[in-house]
Amino acid sequence: MDKLRLRFEKTGKAAYISHLDLLHVVQRAFLRAGTPLKYSEGFNPHAIISICVPLSVGMESLCELMDFRVTREIDLAALPGELNAVSPEGIRFIECYEPQRKAAEIKWLRCEGVYEYDALAPEISELDAFYRRGSIPVTRRTKRGEGVLELAGNVRDFELERCEAGVRLGCTVSAQEPAVNPELLVKALAQLAPELGPDFASWKRLGFYGSDMTAFR
């Protein structure tokens, strides 16, 4: 047993912890729990920890995955509780296990969004028709400047329903190659159908899947 994987939640105020700060928080939790982490070699050794698919600031998740290495065998069943005892509010570790697949094999992400409207929300049928278009090109910023990403085909399995805040939307987005940030679904409305766009939207990750849509572990 060398490489291990933790599944954890990042909710509430913890959703606003950045990716880099999250790594620092996790390292401190490991240290306080006495976990025998493996470190890199060289002049500036660092804990060998990686988040499989980094999460955007402000987005909640019930399914975050983190890989790490240890120097000796540990009690996998006990580790989540040990870490939870020394972790901040909103960071909750659920289970620890030996990885069954490489993180690069993650393909799909199930997520849920809540669209809030100051005025009357649009009809569910209007939003459904928009997201079922044969082409939904959305302009986004990349490291190389602006680029266009085609959402059609890379987002699927839409489920829409009324909720107290406005509209709840469930969908499955491509997690890698290409990586589709669910927030682009709102940006697409703003660019292509502004009359349907919400005044505020929040998102939550629910689960990762492989290309065959089996739960990723």
Q: Give the model confidence (pLDDT) of 163-206 as tens digits.
A: 998 999 999 999 999 999 999 999 999 999 999 999 999 999 99
Beta carbons of 67 and 50 less than 8 angstroms apart: yes
Peptide bond between residue 80 and the one before it cis (omega within 30 degrees of 0) = no
Q: Which domains does the chain have, with CATH numbers?
A: 3-99 (3.30.70.580), 104-209 (3.30.70)
As a whole number of angstroms, the distance between CA 48 and CA 69 comes to: 6
- Spatial contact of 74 and 63, defined as CB atoms under 8 Å apart: no
Task: Give the list of residues 6+ apart from residue 140 with CB closer than 8 angstroms, or none.
Answer: 146, 147, 148, 149, 181, 184, 187
Instruction: Say what the pTM is.
Output: 0.92
The list of the chain residues with pLDDT below 50 reads none
How far is residue 12's CA from residue 138's CA, in Å, rounded to a whole number?
Answer: 29
Q: What pLDDT does 44 receive? A: 86
What integer pLDDT is reported at residue 4 of this predicted model? Answer: 97
Q: Is the dihedral of CA 37, 101, 215, 75 positive or negative?
A: negative
pLDDT of residue 1: 67
Say what the pLDDT of residue 144 is: 78
- Tokens standing for residue 42: 């060289």
Beta strands in the chain (DSSP E): 3-10, 49-51, 60-69, 91-97, 108-116, 137-142, 145-150, 155-162, 166-174, 200-209
Q: Give the integer Cα–Cα distance in Å for 93 and 53.
A: 16
